[in-house]
Amino acid sequence: MAATPGPAEANDMYFEDFRVGQSFQSPPHEVTEGALLQFAEVSGDKAPIHVDADYAAGTQFGQRLVHGPYGLARFFGALHDLHIVDSTVIGLLDTNWRYLKPVFVGDTLIFDITITRCRRTSARDRGVINRHVLLKRDDGTVVQEGTTAFMVQARTSADPSSDPSALDFCGPGWTKDLAARLGQDEEFVAATRSFDGTIGLQAGTVPTSLRIYKGAILEAAPKALLGPTFTVQASELVWAQLMTGPRNDFIPRTLRGEFSLTGSGYDYLRLTKALMRIWETAREMAGAPV
Amino acid sequence: MIESQYVDLGGSLAYVEAAGEGPAVLCIHTAGQSGVQWRHTLTGLAALGYRVIVPDLPGHGRSEPAVGGPVRDLGRYAEWCIDLIDELGLDRPYVMGCSIGGKISLDIATRISDRLSGVVAMAAEVNAPKPGGAAALDRGMEDASSPSRTDRTYYGTLAVCGRTVPAERVEMIAAMHRREDPIITTSDLIGWFSHDIRAGLANITCPTYLVVGDDDFWLDLDQVAWTGSQIQGARTLVLEGIGHYPMEEVDDFASVADGWLRTLAEDAARAR
């Protein structure tokens, strides 16, 4: 009943082996007609757009559509093919998936997987790894995209607060370190000297806030009593890229709509320089070039 | 030596610098900026045997504001440049511009191609107007709704310089760009978003170079390519690792520009 031992096991990754920004690419996978029909059988979704070629020829697509969830299912196949957690995986925790473009028989699919968060659980001997997944055709077009978390064994049992926090964006350790550095940063202090409010930051679903009065950070915590004056939010993937990329490219990312803003747009603009100091400081923490 | 003069154009004084002897090259600056962007090109191209003319557009640099207030129509800048060409008696000049200056250069070419030796339009494409962008900019004309404007110009400029440009040069470009009048810049940008010369591109008969940096996130490279496809014989060049301001970013830009102008001259000779 034990997992078959084999050379693959030597490659298995434990919680401590994952790092935010790490990426994996699957080998290409060609979608065959046989796979489409088998998937229809297994899922029971035998809608004519999937299985009836004559019918599909008359639709806007002109051919049969591969089931959307086939792409998602193949992600787990691609992951298996990488043989990186065969013996260490504990379980799948969640999947948030978007179907952006149709997939057809004959398409060659590739998965780009980026690690976006690594957090040890309170059980200490295991951790949760978040992944951002892009499903692309071999011409680079993104056809499906999503995030999915899984639980993996840790090598050693340890207090979660002793794990590195420099890439745990908006987490408690990260926030504490950021606030300590910003408090010593003359430019940040000067840029917030006329500000009485709270800067909210959010990476994926993890929020944090910096309560500021006349250049002093009064509190750094997930929540402020009155809520943030404004909150700047982006996916964990965007945070990982901004914090580990070759340069601080916050501005082009805002132009591409990768960041969203809630709360006072006026105060957000007013604190442009303070925000730039936050990104630069967080990049320093992450070890990126500044 | 750099010669400078004030020229009366349409009832307001235009500040114009010139240097060198040879084929004339009119250089047009970007939104909100001034002829100072061409300071190295001015002397560099002059040394290579050109008569280089660098005006400050009305309301910019040392030129007086345009009569009637800030200009929101790049077509008016194009007319203004043609008036300047006439006033200075420039004979078959090249016109080189960047960003709105690039669009203005193309606009000039749609009107008087037969009187130009060629056009170099950098960081410019021709597109359908984007009224949504212009509406947001209209709000930004009020200081009260546009906080930290200079910081945003500064950081925006830092970000849109190319990855190959040394940090000290990028810092210099951004520091100089923040010396702008937001009302003038915003009007220029409204002009950028609302200008539509798609129908005129077929009128461009002089040799044309479209130049764009691949780090210029303000521009859509496909749209630049499309613009090139609409102009007879146009050349399109992508500069690797350069952003929105080639004349300020590229090492020894004057020599590079000289190469482009020579290519345009050869194109013209072949066409004859």
Which tokens is A183 given?
Answer: 């408090």
The residue type of B178 is: R
Q: How confident is the model at residue B173 (pLDDT cuts 50, 70, 90)?
A: very high
With tokens 């995030």, the residue in question is A147
Contacts of residue B236, defined as CB under 8 A and 6 or more positions apart, other chains included, come to B209, B210, B211, B212, B224, B225, B228
Alpha carbons B156 and B31: distance in angstroms, whole number: 13
Q: Do B148 and A251 touch (CB under 8 A)?
A: no
Beta bridge partners of B14: B7
Residues A23 and A137 in one domain: yes
* Residues 6+ positions from A210 with CB-CB distance below 8 Å: A175, A178, A179, A182, A198, A199, A201, A217, A219, A220
Same domain? A151 vs A178: no
CB contact B147 to A (< 8 Å): yes
The span from the first CA to the last CA of chain B, in angstroms, equals 35
CA distance B122 to A144: 36
Sheet holding B51-55, edge to edge: B3-9, B12-19, B51-55, B24-28, B94-98, B118-122, B208-213, B235-239
Chain A contact present for B145, CB below 8 A: yes
- Probe site for chain A from B151, B152, B161 (most A CB atoms < 10 A): B151
Q: Which two tokens stand for residue B112?
A: 């008087």
Distance CA A237, CA A244 (A): 11
Number of domains in chain A: 2
Q: What is the average pLDDT across A197-223?
A: 97
Q: Is B163 on the interface with A (CB under 8 A)?
A: yes
Residue A167 lies in a domain: no
Whether residues A14 and A147 fall in one domain: yes
Do residues A266 and A199 both lie within one domain?
yes
DSSP letter string over chain B? --EEEEEEETTEEEEEEEE-SSSEEEEE--TT--GGGGHHHHHHHHHTT-EEEEEPPTTSTTSPPPTTSS---HHHHHHHHHHHHHHHT--S-EEEEETHHHHHHHHHHHHHGGG-SEEEEES-------HHHHHHHHHTTSGGG-TTHHHHHHHHHHHHS-TTS-HHHHHHHHHHHT---HHHHHHHHHHHHH---GGGGGG--S-EEEEEETT-TTS-HHHHHHHHHTSTT-EEEEETT--S-HHHHSTTHHHHHHHHHHHHHHHHHHH-
Sheet holding A206-213, edge to edge: A216-221, A206-213, A196-203, A230-234, A260-263
Q: Are residues A81 and A205 in the same domain?
A: no
| Contact between residue A143 and residue A101 where contact means Cβ atoms under 8 Å apart | yes
Q: How confident is the model at residue A8 (pLDDT cuts 50, 70, 90)?
A: very low
User: Which spans in A52-204 are helix H?
Assistant: 53-57, 68-82, 172-183, 186-191
Find chain B residues with C-beta within 8 A of A188's C-beta. none
Two tokens, residue A144: 């499906």
> Do A257 and A137 share a structural domain?
no
Of A247, A252, A272, the CB nearest to B151: A272
For residue A1, tell me if it sits in a domain.
no
- pLDDT at residue A137 above 80? yes
Average pLDDT of the segment spanning B217-230: 96
Domains of chain B: 3-271 (3.40.50.1820)
Cα–Cα dist B236/B102, whole Å: 13
Contact between B155 and A271 using a beta-carbon 8 Å cutoff: no
pLDDT tens per residue, range B6-27 = 999 999 999 999 999 999 999 9
* Same domain (yes/no): A66, A20: yes
CB A68 within 8 Å of CB A113: no
Give the separation between CA A271 and CA A279, rounded to whole angstroms.
Answer: 12
Those residues with Cβ within 8 angstroms of residue A74's Cβ, 6 or more apart along the chain or in another chain: A29, A109, A111, A135
Q: Is A248 exposed, middle or buried (0-12, 13-18, 19+ CB in 10 A)?
A: buried
The residue out of A160, A191, A223 marking a domain boundary is: A160
pLDDT at A6: 44
For residue A192, the domain's CATH number is: 3.30.1050.10
Are A269 and B152 a contacting pair at CB < 8 A?
A: yes
Give the DSSP H/E element, type plus range, for residue A46.
Answer: none
* Tens-digit pLDDT profile for residues B60-82: 999 999 999 999 999 999 999 99
Please check whether residue B238 is in contact with residue B139, taking contact to mean a CB–CB distance below 8 angstroms.
Answer: no
CB of B151 within 8 Å of a chain A CB? The answer is yes
Q: Choose one of A127, A160, A193: the last residue of a domain.
A: A160
Task: State pLDDT tens for residues A57-109.
Answer: 999 999 999 999 999 999 999 988 889 999 999 999 999 999 999 999 999 99
Q: Do A276 and B160 touch (CB under 8 A)?
A: no
In this structure, are A122 and A47 located in the same domain? Answer: yes
Say whether residue B182 is in contact with chain A using an 8 A CB cutoff. no
CB contact under 8 A, A246 and B163: yes
Q: pLDDT value at position A9?
A: 59
Per CB distance under 8 Å, which residues of A are interface residues toward B?
Answer: 246-252, 255-256, 266, 269-273, 276
| In the predicted structure, residue A4 carries a pLDDT above the cut 70 | no
Residue numbers in B near A249 (CB within 8 A): 159
pLDDT for position A7: 46
Let me know if residue A2 belongs to a domain: no
At position A104, the amino acid (one-letter code) is F
Paired with A153 in beta bridges are: A126
Nearest-CA residue of chain B relative to A250?
Answer: B159
Whether B148 sits inside 8 A of A249 (CB atoms) is no
Of A195, A163, A172, A186, which is closest to residue A281 (Cα–Cα)?
A186
Contact A252 B159 (CB under 8 A): yes
Number of A/B CB contacts below 8 angstroms equals 32
The whole-number pLDDT of residue B255 equals 98
A83 lies in the same domain as A220: no
Mean pLDDT along residues A210-215: 97
Residue among A251, A253, A258, A266 with most chain B CBs within 10 A, to mutate: A251
Per the prediction, chain A carries an average pLDDT of: 94
- Cβ–Cβ below 8 Å for B155 and A272: yes
Chain A residue whose CA is closest to B160: A252
What was the pLDDT predicted at B163?
96
pLDDT computed for residue A10 by the predictor: 66
Tell me whether residues A272 and B217 touch, CB distance under 8 A: no
The rounded distance, in Å, linking the Cα atoms of B18 and B219 is 30
> Which member of A247, A248, A256 has the closest CB to residue B163?
A247
- When pLDDT is averaged across residues A136-145 and rounded to a whole number, the result is 96
pLDDT score recorded for residue B211: 98
Are residues A66 and A191 both part of a single domain? no
Exposed / middle / buried, residue A216 (Cβ in 10 Å: 0-12, 13-18, 19+): exposed
B112: number of Cβ within 10 Å? 16
pLDDT tens column, A241-262: 999 999 999 999 999 999 999 9
* Boundaries of domain holding A202: 172-286
The predicted pLDDT at position A1 comes to: 35
| ipTM of this predicted structure | 0.87
From B145, B151, B159, residue closest to A249, measured CB to CB: B159
Give pLDDT tens digits for B104-141.
999 999 999 999 999 999 999 998 888 777 788 888 88
Torsion sign across C-alpha atoms A214, A218, A224, A228: positive
Return the pLDDT at A235.
Answer: 97
Out of A123, A140, A160, a domain closes at A160
- Cα–Cα nearest to B211, from B105, B87, B136, B102: B102
CA-CA-CA-CA torsion sign (A134, A137, A142, A144): negative
In this structure, the answer to whether residues A100 and A213 fall within a common structural domain is: no
The answer to whether position A165 is within a domain reads: no
How is residue B81 written in tokens? 């440049």
A260-277 residue pLDDT tens: 999 999 999 999 999 999
- One-letter amino acid at B263 equals T
The residue ranges of DSSP E strands in A121-178, in sequence order, are 126-137, 142-153
Q: Are residues A60 and A156 in the same domain?
A: yes
- pLDDT of A2 higher than 50: no
